[in-house]
Structure 1
Amino acid sequence: MKKRTISILIPFKNTAEFLPDCIQSIINQTYDNWEILAVNDHSTDNSLDVMHSYAQKETRINVLKNEGKGIIEALRTAYSHAQGTYITRMDSDDIMSPNKLENMVRSLEKLGQGHIALGKVKYFSKEGVGDGYKSYEKWLNHLTEKGLNYSEIYKECVIPSPCWMVHRTDLERAGSFTSNRYPEDYDLAFRFYEQDLKCIPTNELLHYWRDYGHRTSRTSEHYAQNYFLDIKLHYFLKLDRDNESPLVLWGAGNKGKTLAKNLLKKNIAFIWVCNNSNKIGLDIYDKRMNHYLELSKLQKAQVIITVANKEAQEFIKDYLQDQGKNRVQDYFFFC
């Protein structure tokens, strides 16, 4: 039986020094029926020359010019030329493990449409990987091992942007790259969640994620914290908010205050609580800060938690579970 084609979408901008490792890792794949749609997003280094040099030797590589500007437009350009049954993304500065494509296709062919093939990821860097990235890697891989990625979707992006694969029809159902929301990978993860695409659990390390100081996710304003909070609130209100239940915001740090301002701006009623004795009873933005025990007086409340401290999160989780509340139904960690 003929192997189905995988379309690999690769936006690239000023990554000339990393492109050879990236492209060679694809050429070396054990699964060979793929096409690369490489979109130059207005590079000012010699990235385009590097990509053209590979395309001249490899007919499966199609080099394109971004029809707009930025990664979302580049993904749209790439996808508009894609011919594959399966669609995946790749970052132009990363490296695939040799069996990545074969592993993902095998998972999708076994379980069919309505599923997302994933892989575990590993950060690497010449300068060394920071504790924050190590923590994210460990957290993300733990979810992927169990296929429980959506269980913590409001904390952080639970689908690694360069390490997923879906059937083309499922990507279409999720809206492909039509959304203008940044961060674009987090927005797509929520749309996969909205369409109930099942995450396939795996223990396989399939992707090596490069970190360096001028990486786009570190330098672009589109990946600032306020963009993440905006996406979380947007999809919570769209997908999980029960308007018949009281809404409670737990936490009065920077994220809690930002979220409170957004809720007030949208004229959405909420009760603000915390477990910080220094803030209980204060008026912030003309909104009274209540003791968290006020929760026990509410029927079927939904709780958004913006407390980042790990010990405090455990306390909050235990308290809410003792109240009979369920995660990603009654309470949602936004950090």
Structure 2
Amino acid sequence: MISIVMPVKNAFKYLEECILSIQNQSLADWELIAIIDNSSDDSIHILNKFSDSDSRIKVFNNDGKGIIDALILAYSKTEGEFISRMDADDKMHPNKLQMLSDSLRENPKAIITAKVSYFSDTELGQGYLDYQNWLNQFIDQQNHYSGIYQECVLPSPCWMMTRSTLDALGGFKSLSYPEDYDLCFKAYQKNIQILGVNEILHYWRDYSERTSRNDPNYADNTFIELKTSYFIACDNKSDQPLILWGAGKKGKKIARLLIESGTKFIWATNNPKKLNVPIYDQQLVLDEEISDIKDAQLIIAIADRKASEDILRVLQASAVDEVYYFC
């Protein structure tokens, strides 16, 4: 059986459409564990209506507050061997559960995902289309972790894994916000493979009241602290030089975190004006000076187009061993 965990907060407007898409799945062996997360709308009435007529739908109130507490409670109520997550304002493709579970049976130690498609009742912003396309490229290439330090490479409402895999990741209990990105990093840390079904199986709704737009836990969408902590834990090699490229807002935050952790690094910039005064008692060097540093690890914390051209030029002439894009 597949257990679907679904936090619900003020999703009344779209909740019925969401649940109908679950009930209309080609695979019927599922349970939906819906957690009312301090909703102030009438979501509970929609859920009770469906649970009264469908025993596969089970509804509970969140004793805590927030998505992580809701996920912890939902998981504690599950009975299935396969676990998936759903957002209460989205829609499933009719074959989503069937196709994800078929792939998971063939690859029981992996996390299975699929392509997603953003939609909206109003005009969809280009940023969401870019993220959709960025995510879906990993399905084509089957190399999800290559983008792990840029954004979350695992769409939160479109994955399935076995109970034993989720338990190996610590379930939802050890997560911090953003919980989907943290879960993805934990899978990366444990070398758990992510495999993608080459079909659009999830429809991701964007609207102004969406949780990720309004919850303060997601306000800083750079997630630098999360990225840096996992880089130090997973990828930093003390026997190789580490270069941080970029001294803007992101670069400074990464530098501060590296310094606090005792991680040594060379700080590079393409802005000569920043060479005059040390930042955090760290003297910066021009980016051109890093080309002769052999076998280095490089964190890139700069994203504008002209800088990207500079980065490409320097990397082509450098002996850098590993590159990590943090933006």
Which TM class, normalised by the smaller chain length? over 0.9
Q: Measure the CA separation in 1 of the matches of 2:209 and 2:116.
A: 20
3-state SS of paired residue (2:103): helix
Report SS of the residue matched to 1:155.
Answer: coil
User: Given the superposition, is the C-alpha separation of residues 294 and 174 from structure 1 closer, same or farther in structure 2, using an over 3 Å criterion?
Assistant: same
**1:237 Cα deviation from its structure 2 partner:** 0.6
Describe the SS at the equivalent of 1:284.
coil
Equivalent residues in 2 for 1:24-35 (5 A)?
24-35=20-31
Aligned twin of 2:59: 63
Task: Give the Å deviation of 1:104.
Answer: 0.3
Is the contact between residue 120 and residue 141 of structure 1 (CA under 8 Å) also seen in structure 2?
yes
Classify 1:59/1:311 alpha carbon distance in 2 versus 1 (closer, same or farther; 3 Å). Answer: farther
Task: Tell me the alpha carbon deviations over residues 48-97 of structure 1, each in whole angstroms, 9 at most, x when there is no partner.
Answer: 11111110011100101112111001000000011111101000010001
Where does 1:263-302 land on structure 2 (aligned, <5 Å)? 263-302=258-297
Letter paired with 2:14 = F
Deviates more, 1:286-295 or 1:204-213: 286-295
Q: What does residue 115 of structure 1 align with?
A: 110
Corresponding position of 2:148: 153
- Listed as ranges, the matches of 1:1-335 within 5 Å are 5-111=1-107, 113-225=108-220, 228-313=223-308, 315-317=310-312, 319-320=314-315, 322-326=317-321, 330-335=322-327
> CA separation in 2, counterparts of 1:225 and 1:283?
26
Cα drift, residue 262 of structure 1? 2.0
Q: Give the secondary-structure state (helix, strand or coil) at the position aligned to 2:112.
A: strand
Aligned residues, how many? 327
The TM-score with structure 1 as length reference comes to 0.93
How far 1:311 moved relative to its partner? 5.0
Corresponding letter in the other structure for 2:84: T
CA contact (8 A) 2:51 2:57 kept: yes
When normalised by structure 2's length, the TM-score is 0.95
1:231 positional shift = 0.7
Between the aligned partners of 2:20 and 2:314, the Cα distance in structure 1 is 51
CA contact (8 A) 2:246 2:301 kept: yes
Q: In 2, distance between residues paired with 1:324 and 1:244? A: 15
Instruction: Assess if the C-alpha contact under 8 Å between 2:292 and 2:319 holds in 1.
Output: no
Identity among equivalent positions (%) equals: 44
Aligned letter for 1:208?
Y
Displacement of 1:318: 5.5
Instruction: Note the residue ranges of structure 1 that are not aligned, 5 or more in a row.
Output: none
The separation in 2 between residues aligned to 1:321 and 1:190, in whole angstroms, is: 29
2:188, 2:96 → 1: CA distance? 23
Distance apart, 1:194 and its partner CA: 1.5
